[in-house]
Structure 1
Amino acid sequence: MSVFEGRFAERGAIVTGGASGLGKAVAARLVAEGARVSLWDLDSGTLAAAQAETGACDVQALDVSDAQQVASAASASAKALGTVGVLICSAGITGATAPVHEFPIDSWQRVFEINVHGLFYCNRAVVPYMLDGGYGRIVNVASVAGKEGNPNASAYSASKAAVIGLTKSLGKELAGRGVIANALTPATFESPILSQLPPSQVDYMRSKIPMGRLGEVDESAAMICFMASEECSFTTASTFDTSGGRTTF
């Protein structure tokens, strides 16, 4: 992992889904580059282990699909960090693997509760702290599925398309106010979330990547850390790909 020493000095950062996978990798890199990090996740047990592993200074156990829990966690994190200049929303689930006409309604609803409503609650709760400080970087983790759609993954694909649309709207709202919001659209990468999918679905997604392999979590973490830094100063309401060539728009 390449580290830019001091890039996030004096920055407070919140990372949702921070106890595992991409969220944990991003948190570790943010800490290594000087940030004070608050990890948000549902599982308090894995949060404690992730805090020890990443060096995060604060953890909040919550369900991001509960707006009140999110608001309370944002307040607690702001106090613990002193300031919030970075928000990385990486919490998400895949949902069922099934065609639309057979897709379980409860799975559809839960995917949207976490991937869309939860992300909205996090953005909504944290933006005021950024506006008060006159600075912010928001990275909402979407997916190439939100651009192209994956068969038998309609809930996930639709939810990630919603994340892209929300981020574009938010970025335009905040342009000129010191707060930048962009979305990451990775292709499939090695992550615990793959355990939610059958191997045939993972094989299909791998086959769509021109580089012929899945991504590595550190590749997306590196892109996120650029997007979350002061260097990303003239791009907002946009998407950044880490797709191995799968998407070109």
Structure 2
Amino acid sequence: MHGEVVRAVKESKRSRRSRFLRDAMVDVQIAGRGIRSRRVLLAMRQVPREIFLDRRFAEAAYEDSAVPIPKGQTISQPYIVARMLEAAAIAKSDRVLEIGAGSGYLAALAAKLGREVCALERHEALVQRARSRLRHLGCRNVDLRQGDGTAGWPDGGEFDVIVVSAAGAQIPAALKAQLAPSGRLLIPLGDPDDVQWLTKLTRGPEGRFVEDRIEEVRFVPLVSAGSRGSRDDGRP
């Protein structure tokens, strides 16, 4: 019984410390840098970022930087995640497609904001890890699969929001075709060795697309099936 009490006390202390660090991250790194969406800020206060990291990197969970995860990937800088989610303007009724799920962190946040999240990750090992963490958090509205992100989710119909966590010279045609009327697509556009811009594509009336640059970022390339190399969540 004594051992159980000690473990409970330690867990409570870890939980309080995590909450303190998470609130500080939101206040300083995110709200302090201009993110105003109350729903995005609340979601980032609620989702523990350290759960999506290996234990040896847990202390870096709330730093203002990307953090390594397996397969040579990273979990993206908190501010960039928040910037993409705010620009996506996810409503409670929205269906969201995420390309490049990585650790599952962005999917967990999107699950707080939208009705349904479909997420694709190229590495099966990361898919299994992310699924376990999403189950732990009770994210029942996330469907995470292994697959080629450039092809989107062909059997999923249209999505109100599509978020891509890797850069391309252009937006894959499959993703544009899967964007619903009035839908928003967020993707870094540009050469991997040059300037990239986080770009928002909105599908307007009669299928016309409106493209807006948001801010300069730095991501590695979006890799399609059969291509060499690996995808890495970016940092600015």
TM-score, structure 2 as length reference: 0.35
Structure whose residues are more often strand by fraction: 2
Give the number of the structure with larger relative contact order, counting CA–CA contacts within 8 Å between residues 6 or more apart. 1
- Over alpha carbons, which structure has the higher Rg? 2
